[in-house]
Protein backbone atom coordinates (compact mmCIF):
# COMPACT_ATOMS: atom_id res chain seq x y z
CA UNK A 1 0.00 0.00 0.00
CA UNK A 2 2.90 2.28 0.77
CA UNK A 3 4.11 1.77 -2.80
CA UNK A 4 0.79 2.92 -4.26
CA UNK A 5 0.66 5.95 -1.96
CA UNK A 6 4.28 6.72 -2.84
CA UNK A 7 5.29 7.02 0.79
CA UNK A 8 7.13 4.96 3.33
CA UNK A 9 5.55 2.08 5.24
CA UNK A 10 5.28 3.96 8.55
CA UNK A 11 3.32 6.87 7.06
CA UNK A 12 0.97 4.52 5.18
CA UNK A 13 0.36 2.45 8.31
CA UNK A 14 -0.28 5.55 10.42
CA UNK A 15 -2.73 6.96 7.85
CA UNK A 16 -4.52 3.62 7.56
CA UNK A 17 -4.70 3.29 11.36
CA UNK A 18 -6.33 6.74 11.61
CA UNK A 19 -8.96 5.77 9.01
CA UNK A 20 -9.70 2.53 10.84
CA UNK A 21 -9.86 4.28 14.24
CA UNK A 22 -12.34 6.83 12.90
CA UNK A 23 -14.40 3.94 11.45
CA UNK A 24 -14.18 5.39 7.96
CA UNK A 25 -12.60 2.17 6.77
CA UNK A 26 -12.34 -1.45 7.87
CA UNK A 27 -8.90 -2.99 7.55
CA UNK A 28 -6.74 -5.59 9.21
CA UNK A 29 -2.97 -5.16 9.09
CA UNK A 30 -0.69 -8.18 9.20
CA UNK A 31 2.66 -6.59 10.01
CA UNK A 32 4.96 -9.63 9.63
CA UNK A 33 3.78 -10.31 6.07
CA UNK A 34 2.98 -6.69 5.20
CA UNK A 35 -0.54 -7.55 4.04
CA UNK A 36 -3.56 -5.32 4.59
CA UNK A 37 -7.00 -6.97 4.37
CA UNK A 38 -10.00 -4.73 3.72
CA UNK A 39 -12.68 -7.41 3.96
CA UNK A 40 -14.64 -7.97 7.14
CA UNK A 41 -14.67 -11.44 8.60
CA UNK A 42 -18.00 -13.08 7.81
CA UNK A 43 -20.33 -13.92 10.63
CA UNK A 44 -21.71 -17.43 10.95
CA UNK A 45 -25.07 -16.19 9.68
CA UNK A 46 -23.50 -14.64 6.56
CA UNK A 47 -21.59 -17.84 5.85
CA UNK A 48 -24.72 -19.94 6.26
CA UNK A 49 -26.70 -17.64 3.97
CA UNK A 50 -24.02 -17.80 1.26
CA UNK A 51 -23.92 -21.60 1.59
CA UNK A 52 -27.72 -21.82 1.28
CA UNK A 53 -27.64 -19.68 -1.87
CA UNK A 54 -24.93 -21.89 -3.38
CA UNK A 55 -26.90 -25.04 -2.57
CA UNK A 56 -30.05 -23.52 -4.09
CA UNK A 57 -28.14 -22.72 -7.27
CA UNK A 58 -26.68 -26.23 -7.39
CA UNK A 59 -30.10 -27.83 -6.96
CA UNK A 60 -31.44 -25.69 -9.80
CA UNK A 61 -28.67 -26.97 -12.06
CA UNK A 62 -29.35 -30.58 -11.05
CA UNK A 63 -33.08 -30.13 -11.70
CA UNK A 64 -32.41 -28.64 -15.14
CA UNK A 65 -30.05 -31.51 -15.98
CA UNK A 66 -32.65 -34.09 -14.92
CA UNK A 67 -35.25 -32.43 -17.14
CA UNK A 68 -32.88 -32.52 -20.12
CA UNK A 69 -32.10 -36.21 -19.51
CA UNK A 70 -35.81 -37.04 -19.29
CA UNK A 71 -36.47 -35.11 -22.50
CA UNK A 72 -33.70 -37.03 -24.28
CA UNK A 73 -35.07 -40.36 -22.99
CA UNK A 74 -38.58 -39.47 -24.22
CA UNK A 75 -37.23 -38.45 -27.64
CA UNK A 76 -35.33 -41.74 -27.89
CA UNK A 77 -38.41 -43.77 -26.87
CA UNK A 78 -40.62 -41.89 -29.37
CA UNK A 79 -38.11 -42.44 -32.17
CA UNK A 80 -37.86 -46.12 -31.31
CA UNK A 81 -41.68 -46.44 -31.24
CA UNK A 82 -42.01 -44.65 -34.60
CA UNK A 83 -39.47 -47.00 -36.17
CA UNK A 84 -41.30 -50.01 -34.71
CA UNK A 85 -44.62 -48.78 -36.15
CA UNK A 86 -43.06 -48.40 -39.59
CA UNK A 87 -41.60 -51.89 -39.32
CA UNK A 88 -38.02 -50.67 -39.54
CA UNK A 89 -35.58 -52.30 -37.18
CA UNK A 90 -32.89 -50.10 -35.64
CA UNK A 91 -30.11 -51.98 -37.47
CA UNK A 92 -31.95 -51.62 -40.81
CA UNK A 93 -32.48 -47.92 -40.17
CA UNK A 94 -28.79 -47.48 -39.46
CA UNK A 95 -27.74 -49.33 -42.59
CA UNK A 96 -30.28 -47.43 -44.71
CA UNK A 97 -28.89 -44.10 -43.61
CA UNK A 98 -25.26 -45.19 -44.10
CA UNK A 99 -23.66 -44.22 -47.42
CA UNK A 100 -23.21 -47.06 -49.87
CA UNK A 101 -19.68 -48.14 -50.67
CA UNK A 102 -18.88 -48.15 -54.34
CA UNK A 103 -16.43 -50.69 -55.67
CA UNK A 104 -14.01 -49.03 -58.07
CA UNK A 105 -14.17 -52.01 -60.46
CA UNK A 106 -17.98 -51.73 -60.70
CA UNK A 107 -17.80 -47.97 -61.27
CA UNK A 108 -15.64 -48.38 -64.39
CA UNK A 109 -18.04 -50.84 -66.09
Give residue limits of the domains in the chain. Answer: 2-37, 42-88
First to last CA, the chain: 85
3-state secondary structure string, the chain?
A: CHHHHCCCHHHHHHHHHHHHHCCCCCCEEECCCCEEECCCCCCHHHHHHHHHHHHHHHHHHHHHHHHHHHHHHHHHHHHHHHHHHHCCCHHHHHHHHCCCCCCHHHHHC
Please write the tens of the pLDDT for every residue from 44-83.
999 999 999 999 999 999 999 999 999 999 999 999 999 9
Please write the tens of the pLDDT for every residue from 6-39.
667 778 778 878 888 888 878 877 778 777 777 7
Amino acid sequence: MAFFLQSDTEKAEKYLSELVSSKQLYAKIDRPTGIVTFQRKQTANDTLEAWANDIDSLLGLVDNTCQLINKENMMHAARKQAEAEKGVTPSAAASASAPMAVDSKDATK
